[in-house]
Structure 1
Amino acid sequence: MPFLRSSAISRVEYNATTATLSIWFVQSGGPYDYYGVPQSVYEGLLGARSAGTYYNDYIRDRYSSNR
């Protein structure tokens, strides 16, 4: 479970079998689960210069989710 150096996201988990990305936010906690997320998007989040910007550009409002 990677912890991120981000002011927006504290940690993430990815389940490749179910393509579920779980995100814990600094402000609101979590986990928030996002479904049908390709592994490449998860890897992009891990390697992003800004995890918050990457989340807004590539994950937020693009995948079904719940908390």
Structure 2
Amino acid sequence: MDSSLIRGALYWPDHRALELCLTGGRRYLYLGVPAEVAEGFAAASSKGSYFNRAIRGRYDCHPLRDEEPARRAVND
């Protein structure tokens, strides 16, 4: 993933949950994210801009601890 803000992303469609790992290493889980928003994020040429425009502040956000496992990657 080529972004100055976001290092990686995972999406669980059955739970409508998007996990984002920021370049500083912090991880967050966004709940209630529709598949089309996650797909838009995966397709965006600027992940950080898409995140700021379509995700940040729009969905319930929870910080994650480092030891919580990732499950499935969103395509770059």
TM-score in terms of structure 2 length: 0.79
Q: Which residue number corresponds to residue 66 of structure 1?
A: 62
**Aligned residue identity for 1:44:** G
The answer to whether the aligner puts 1:32 opposite 2:33 as a matched pair is: no
Partner amino acid for 1:6? S
Amino-acid identity (%): 37
Matched, 1:50 2:46: yes
Give aligned pairs, total: 63
Q: Which has the higher contact order (CA 8 A, sep 6+)?
A: 2
Using the size of structure 1 for normalisation, the TM-score is 0.89
Deviation digits for residues 7-55 of structure 1 (CA, Å, limit 9, x no counterpart): 110100000111000000002x232000000011111111111100000
Task: Report runs of 4+ in structure 1 exceeding 4 Å deviation.
Answer: none
Which structure has the bigger radius of gyration? Answer: 2
How large is the Cα RMSD of the aligned pairs? Answer: 0.8
